[in-house]
């Protein structure tokens, strides 16, 4: 329980109508979650407007409304008008939970691809170093060993603060989290002070939301601009940057933190040499300011060398010894749904991967090509209600890099699967003829087609859904797991 004045401390220009000393029992940004004595924060969203539910919130017991524009509520209710309710939600949430982020070391990873993988690698390093770790990201949220469900990659600010507070109560030392560009743009992480900010890469995605690559870049840079600014914690801040990325330098320029660069092509602080890619992993020497170390990882693909270098740099930033980092990284068997093998005794390889961007697909197919002796067969689709412009580019990537492509449905959401497939096909047609691809909307049948045509030495990549255990069709969430579907089909044939 807190007083309203305490919660408004970091919000400038708030105009209050009513009692400022009222005690707040809880906060909610969804009127349906309001309980007696709560403050309801109205958010103008993309689907609806929270201001429309102010009265509803009052009926559920809200005594305070935080709004950006006029709301009609009884005069007994305190109304606070602020410029940005999403920002207010974040700052009020941090204050309500007594600034949990200040009691933790927080490592934030942003970038188009590699966030989930990199956070998993860092988690392993920190655990190996004896730290208690919390994880926040696409696959799962985790407090030490307790796994919690996930709705978004980066939770809404209030939920994030509640989660960080739970971590503090559980004795967590480090929170390692993915910071999506949506979260940065929508102020989900405002009020959360990072100790390390990591940039993996930036390539096209989410233009439905950000509209331009410049806006997308600016959203990601926020994590670095805020690093070490108005710091409440007395410790070193590190900006860890992939300097091989064409935008890497721009992150270096905006950050207030100490910079550690990583890369393969550039003269980076942490770099990889003598890279040896195999089908079952990659070996390389990590050269760092604290010496070199030979690493033999179970993750394959050049992109995983980058993810590992980011994790090495992160470990060094936390003063973890190289032998500990080595042991931790070498123990990682894989990340669920990322180049995950499905094996039922078949004479060809089947990989389920989460590539859902042009760059992700290019990376995963290039990696697979390295160990494909026969044909590389790709099954993929694109999500509905997401960046439409990436669809033909992904079509082009698969057409160029695969020997055969099966286009299928991903999560169509509110869109027509056939139309999404037509968008992808636009990119395929100019590159290859109909003998090199097919369109099978039903994802299970598409996977069956690819597995039926595969012969010894071939590699089948099923991309886009990775760890997902569902398929979103319209508003329905139907059970669907690429790994289970592939296994079931393979078992029918090979065991
Ligand atoms: C575009 C986007 O990010 N939208 C997020 C946003 O929704 P919104 O603001 O549009 O909400 P809205 O549905 O219009 O509702 C407005 C307000 O009215 C409230 N409301 C609504 C109904 C009611 O009866 N009462 C009520 O109070 C809602 O609680 C909300 O506060 O805020 C919601 C609450 O936090 C999020 O769940 C929602 O994520 C949606 C589901 C989503 O799909 N987001 C994706 C695009 C996303 O964020 N992805 C990134 C990862 C991307 C990547 O890196 O690949 C992520 O971090 O997950
Ligand atoms: N560093 C990287 N560079 C390019 N592609 C990568 C990289 N790491 C992983 N990938 C590819 O992108 C896919 C997604 O990887 P990962 O889940 O680690 O990224 P993410 O940034 O967390 O994605 P999301 O935005 O969905 O949270 C992988 O399955 C792989 O195909
Ligand atoms: N975090 C990404 C995941 C995309 C995964 C793909 N399966 C899809 O549904 O488009 C997004 O929300 O855009
Ligand atoms: Mg992720």
Please work out whether the CB of residue 360 comes within 6 Å of at least one atom of ligand 1: no
pLDDT mean across residues, the chain: 96
263-304, pLDDT tens digit by residue?
998 899 999 999 999 888 999 999 999 999 999 999 999 999
Is 112 within any annotated ligand binding site? yes
In this prediction, residues 81-94 reach a mean pLDDT of 97
Q: Which atom of ligand 2 is nearest to the CA of 111?
A: 21
Distances from the Cα of 437 to the Cα of 144, 265, 402, angstroms: 45, 35, 9
Is 87 within any annotated ligand binding site? no
Ion ligand 4: residues, Cβ under 5 Å? 115-116, 138, 178
Distances from the Cα of 492 to the Cα of 128, 148, 444, 448, 480, angstroms: 41, 34, 14, 11, 18
For residue 239, the model assigns a pLDDT of 97
| Nearest alpha carbon to residue 313 among 336, 289, 332, 295 | 289
297 with 443, same domain: the answer is no
CA dihedral 343, 344, 350, 352 (to 10 degrees): -60
Q: Identify whether the C-beta of residue 351 lies closer than 8 Å to the C-beta of residue 490.
A: no
Domain final residue pick, 44, 77, 96? 96
d(CA 231, CA 21): 28
Is 180 within any annotated ligand binding site? yes
SS3 content of the chain, % helix, strand, coil (to 5): 35, 25, 40
Is 495 within any annotated ligand binding site? no
Residue nearest to atom 43 of ligand 1 (CA): 152
Please work out whether the CB of residue 411 comes within 6 Å of at least one atom of ligand 3: yes
160 with 210, same domain: the answer is yes
CA dihedral 475, 481, 482, 485 (to 10 degrees): -110
Domain final residue pick, 280, 299, 331? 331
Residue nearest to atom 13 of ligand 3 (CA): 386
Which among 115, 136, 182, 386 is the best mutation to test ligand 3's pocket, defined by most ligand atoms within 8 Å of the CB? 386
118 with 212, same domain: the answer is yes
CA 337 / ligand 4 centre spacing (Å): 11
pTM recorded for the entire structure: 0.96
- Token reading at 290: 């604290």
355-409, pLDDT tens digit by residue?
999 999 999 999 999 999 999 999 999 999 999 999 999 999 999 999 999 999 9
For residue 1, the model assigns a pLDDT of 62
For residue 235, the model assigns a pLDDT of 85
Q: Identify whether the C-beta of residue 96 lies closer than 8 Å to the C-beta of residue 343.
A: no
**457-490 burial: b if 16+ Cβ within 10 Å, else e:** ebbbbbbbbbbbeebbbeeeeeebbbbebbbebb
225-253, pLDDT tens digit by residue?
999 888 888 889 999 999 999 999 999 99
For residue 495, the model assigns a pLDDT of 79
Please work out whether the CB of residue 29 comes within 6 Å of at least one atom of ligand 1: yes
In this prediction, residues 189-214 reach a mean pLDDT of 95
222 with 191, same domain: the answer is yes
84 with 162, same domain: the answer is no
253 with 355, same domain: the answer is no
CA 115 / ligand 4 centre spacing (Å): 5
19 with 110, same domain: the answer is no
Q: Which atom of ligand 1 is nearest to the CA of 57?
A: 27
387-398, pLDDT tens digit by residue?
999 999 999 999
**Backbone dihedral angles phi then psi of residue 476, each to the nearest 5 degrees:** -85, 140
**What is the torsional sign of CA 269, 110, 388, 375?**
positive
82 with 107, same domain: the answer is no
Q: The domain spanning residue 87 has which CATH number?
A: 3.40.1390.10
What is the C-alpha R_g of the chain? 24
Domain final residue pick, 312, 331, 350? 331
Residue nearest to atom 11 of ligand 3 (CA): 386
Helix (H) or strand (E) holding 115: helix 115-128
Q: Are strands 23-24 and 2-3 parallel, antiparallel or unpaired?
A: antiparallel
CA 182 / ligand 1 centre spacing (Å): 10
204 with 308, same domain: the answer is yes
Residue % of the chain over a pLDDT of 70: 100
Is 188 within any annotated ligand binding site? yes
Please work out whether the CB of residue 43 comes within 6 Å of at least one atom of ligand 1: yes
**What domain range is 453 assigned to?**
340-494
468-477, pLDDT tens digit by residue?
999 999 999 9
For the residues of 20-56, what is the DSSP string, one character each?
SS-EE-EEESSGGG--TTEEEE--B-SS-BGGGGHHH
235 with 111, same domain: the answer is yes
Please count the CA atoms within 13 angstroms of the CA of 122 that sit on its side-chain side. 36
Q: The domain spanning residue 369 has which CATH number?
A: 3.90.190.20
75 with 109, same domain: the answer is no
184 with 92, same domain: the answer is no
CA 45 / ligand 1 centre spacing (Å): 7
The total number of structural domains in the chain stands at 3
């Amino acid at each position: 329980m807190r007083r309203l004045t305490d919660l408004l401390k970091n919000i400038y220009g708030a105009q209050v109508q009513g009692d400022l000393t009222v005690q707040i029992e809880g906060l909610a940004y969804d009127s349906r979650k309001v309980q007696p004595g709560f403050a309801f924060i109205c958010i103008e969203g993309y689907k609806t407007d929270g201001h429309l539910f102010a009265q509803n919130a009052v009926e559920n017991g809200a005594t305070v409304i935080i709004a950006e524009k006029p709301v009609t509520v009884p005069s007994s209710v305190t109304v606070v008008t602020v410029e940005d309710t999403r920002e207010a939600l974040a700052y009020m949430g941090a204050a309500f939970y007594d600034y949990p982020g200040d009691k933790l070391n927080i490592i934030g990873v942003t970038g188009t691809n590699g966030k989930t993988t990199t956070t998993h690698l860092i988690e392993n390093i920190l655990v190996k170093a004896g730290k208690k770790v919390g994880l926040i990201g696409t696959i799962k949220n985790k407090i030490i060993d307790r796994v919690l469900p996930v709705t978004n990659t980066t939770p809404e600010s209030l939920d994030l603060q509640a989660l960080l507070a739970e971590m503090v109560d559980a004795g967590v030392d480090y929170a390692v989290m993915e910071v999506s560009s949506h979260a940065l743009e929508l102020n989900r992480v405002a009020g959360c002070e990072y100790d390390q900010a990591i940039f993996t890469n930036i390539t096209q995605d989410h233009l439905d939301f950000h509209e331009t690559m410049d806006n997308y870049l600016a959203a990601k840079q926020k994590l670095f601009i805020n690093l070490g600014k108005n710091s409440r914690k007395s410790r070193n801040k590190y900006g860890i940057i992939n300097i091989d990325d064409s935008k890497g330098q721009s992150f270096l320029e905006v950050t207030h933190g100490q910079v550690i660069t990583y890369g393969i092509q550039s003269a980076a602080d942490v770099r990889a040499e003598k890279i040896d890619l195999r089908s079952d992993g990659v070996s390389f020497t990590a050269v760092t300011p604290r010496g070199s170390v030979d690493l033999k990882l179970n993750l394959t693909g050049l992109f995983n060398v980058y993810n590992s270098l980011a994790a090495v740099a992160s470990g060094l930033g936390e003063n973890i010894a190289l032998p500990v980092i080595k042991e931790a990284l070498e123990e990682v068997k894989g990340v669920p749904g990322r180049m995950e093998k499905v094996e039922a005794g078949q004479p060809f390889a089947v990989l389920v991967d989460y590539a859902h961007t042009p760059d992700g697909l290019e990376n995963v197919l290039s990696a697979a090509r390295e160990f494909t002796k026969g044909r590389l067969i790709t099954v993929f689709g694109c999500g509905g209600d997401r960046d439409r412009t990436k669809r033909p580019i992904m079509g082009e990537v698969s057409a160029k890099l695969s020997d055969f492509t099966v286009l299928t449905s991903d999560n169509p959401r509110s869109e027509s699967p056939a139309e999404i497939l037509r968008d992808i096909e636009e990119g395929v047609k100019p590159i290859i003829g109909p003998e090199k691809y097919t369109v099978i909307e039903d994802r299970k049948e598409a996977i069956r087609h690819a597995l039926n045509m595969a012969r010894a030495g071939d590699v089948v990549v099923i991309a886009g859904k990775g760890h997902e255990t569902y398929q979103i069709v319209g508003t329905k969430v139907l059970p669907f797991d690429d790994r289970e579907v592939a296994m079931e089909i393979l078992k029918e044939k090979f065991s």
